[in-house]
Structure 1
């Protein structure tokens, strides 16, 4: 059940928050009404207007504003709520999508190989686009993948990548801090070591997500520190019941050496071929 809405004023004279959807360490996400266009949107309101929050806000705006892809949620507007002058709060107005997170779907029950394959293809396709524009997501997790069912006869559930709050431009210097470290269970080894990242970091994280889709078990559980450090000591366990060719693909995606991992385009191609082969073996 959703939490009651916090008291947030009308934003930019048109967006009225009315339901709290999620709360994180540095922001809250509301369902809101765009009173000019008569539609619902999502509002990501940062917890404060500190220098760190404003910097994070500007980073997310610069990243999202430059992305135009069906797998990425679109930014519609941005601003700063200065209704309390001593506590200005930056916010983003983002496309609102109706669906479930991959985390919620995994909690509800097992996914079919076809469902997992479609998530793999669509997220990899999105990452190919994102990486081609010099952006690394840095937090590919089941919680940040939304599966949307448009409910029409010829549509199917589609995976979309959300929350670019800690994304970085691959060509810019990186600073790892506690607040922008990503979700510990899905970090790449190079993230744990605090090294300069490449797009291969997102591939490793997606590999762990896909492995979890098959096993419904987090590959590196434990406390954030324990989870993060364990992957420096061993590769993720690969149960025998993970089917080919997914087994080989996930093993390649979770190579410790980022140079040995496939690109997002390679992952998308492999996923598409596996889905095609799966369809060919379906009974008539």
Structure 2
């Protein structure tokens, strides 16, 4: 269908073409015809009960968050083009870059790049957790490396996809309806046991992501059950010869006991120092 004939959502956001697909939604590059800028549309594949719940969860989480380390929500609505099959959608900031999963598949990251990713995402999580939200699905494909098109500024890591986020204050005290939330390879032990996720769960998942950045291999591969249960049997294999404090930090982040893991607030300054160390610079007095 020619672009000009595609209905504009909310009378202003006209989809152009698909730029990404996920389990529940497709991402379109689109034009905001009112402001003359490009945006991204996350269009859910159906308006069923489960999809609507996920849509409302992500909308509510993003509506309360505004941070440079998070891909921002601009607008939201429901597409009634097909009245019997309404489709919820989110209008998101369009960012230029690639996700961490695709980057790791293409090349090895330098220690400095890993430290920069760690710092950016830890800073974002510090803000997210302070605002009462747990992401619950930290993984390489949910981390965008955003390019600003200049040689002056490095690519910045930004957190995406709050589709299964939850509120800290409203976290259930019992297992979540028998469901395991998150992506199997990056689950925390408590998520694998179907217990409520907490900020410490995000820290564990980020630890696995950073470990993968160093090793370029998934710590807990296999199918969903095999991967989820493996972490209950043994802690991830963290190499003992990583530079600087990385071995100690990754062991702490992936501790089986959530209470033993550092918080994002504690990690952010440590990762800032790691960036400085990797760049061969000294902190300013």
1-side partners of 2:190 and 2:225: how far apart? Answer: 14
For residues 38-77 of structure 1, the aligned pairs below 5 Å read: 38-77=36-75
2-side partners of 1:258 and 1:97: how far apart? Answer: 33
1-side partners of 2:221 and 2:177: how far apart? Answer: 21
The offset of 1:228, in angstroms, is 0.5
1-side partners of 2:177 and 2:186: how far apart? Answer: 16
Q: 1:177 to 1:159 in 2, by over 3 A?
A: farther
1-side partners of 2:278 and 2:47: how far apart? Answer: 51
For residues 141-156 of structure 1, the aligned pairs below 5 Å read: 141-156=139-154
1:131 aligns to what SS in structure 2? helix
After superposition, the C-alpha distances for 1:3-22 in whole angstroms (9 at most, x for unaligned) are x99x9632111111111112
Q: Is the 8 A contact 1:48 1:87 kept in 2?
A: yes
Match of 1:132 in 2: 130
The offset of 1:111, in angstroms, is 0.5
1:232 aligns to what SS in structure 2? helix
The offset of 1:279, in angstroms, is 3.2
Q: Is the 8 A contact 1:12 1:79 kept in 2?
A: yes
After superposition, the C-alpha distances for 1:237-274 in whole angstroms (9 at most, x for unaligned) are 11234223111100000000000000001111111122
The more displaced of 108-117 and 266-275 is: 266-275
2-side partners of 1:222 and 1:200: how far apart? Answer: 24
Q: Does 1:106 align with 2:104?
A: yes
2:190 aligns to what SS in structure 1? helix
Match of 1:86 in 2: 84
Match of 1:24 in 2: 22
Match of 2:119 in 1: 121
2-side partners of 1:141 and 1:176: how far apart? Answer: 21
1:11 aligns to what SS in structure 2? coil
For residues 152-191 of structure 1, the aligned pairs below 5 Å read: 152-174=150-172, 176=176, 181-191=181-191
What are structure 1's unaligned runs of at least 5 residues?
Answer: none
Match of 2:258 in 1: 258
Match of 1:205 in 2: 205
What are structure 2's unaligned runs of at least 5 residues?
Answer: none
The more displaced of 51-60 and 256-265 is: 51-60
2-side partners of 1:178 and 1:95: how far apart? Answer: 34
Match of 1:235 in 2: 235
Q: 1:258 to 1:14 in 2, by over 3 A?
A: same
2:40 aligns to what SS in structure 1? strand
Tell me the TM-score normalised to structure 2 length: 0.93
